[in-house]
Amino acid sequence: MKYVGDSRVSAERKSNVPKDYSEFPGKTEAFWPNFLLKEWMVGAVFLVGFLCLTAADPSPLEGIADPTNTAYIPLPDWYFLFLYQLLKYTYASGPYTLIGVMVIPGLAFGALMLAPFLDRGPERRPGKRPIATGLMLAAIASIFFLTWESVVTHDWEAAEEQGKIKQFVEVDQTNEAYEIAKTNTCISCHGENFEGSAAAPSLQEKELTAEHIAQIAREGTGQMPAGVFKGTDEELQKLSEYISNIGKE
185 and 141 in a single domain? The answer is: no
**Over the stretch 148-162, which tens digit does the pLDDT of each residue have?**
999 999 888 877 777
Closest C-alpha to 150, from 92, 211, 83 = 83
Kindly list the distances between the CA atom of residue 19 and the CA atoms of 28, 39, 73, 129, 167, in Å, as whole numbers in the listed order. Answer: 10, 22, 62, 39, 68
pLDDT at 40 over 80: yes
Domain holding 134, by residue range, is 78-162
H-helix or E-strand spanning residue 152: helix 130-153
User: Whole-model pTM above 0.85?
Assistant: no
Asked, for residue 199, whether it belongs to a domain, the answer is yes
CATH code of the domain covering residue 108: 1.10.287
Say how far apart CA 23 and CA 244 lie, in whole Å: 88
121 and 154 in a single domain? The answer is: yes
Helix (H, G, I), strand (E, B) or coil at 221: strand
In the prediction, which pLDDT does 10 show? 57
Asked, for residue 88, whether it belongs to a domain, the answer is yes
DSSP string, 161-192: HHT-----PPP-TTSHHHHHHHHTTHHHHH-T
**Over the stretch 3-26, which tens digit does the pLDDT of each residue have?**
554 555 555 666 666 566 666 666
Say how far apart CA 210 and CA 8 lie, in whole Å: 80
87 and 112 in a single domain? The answer is: yes
Asked, for residue 35, whether it belongs to a domain, the answer is no
Domain closes at, from 137, 162, 187? 162
Say how far apart CA 243 and CA 178 lie, in whole Å: 9
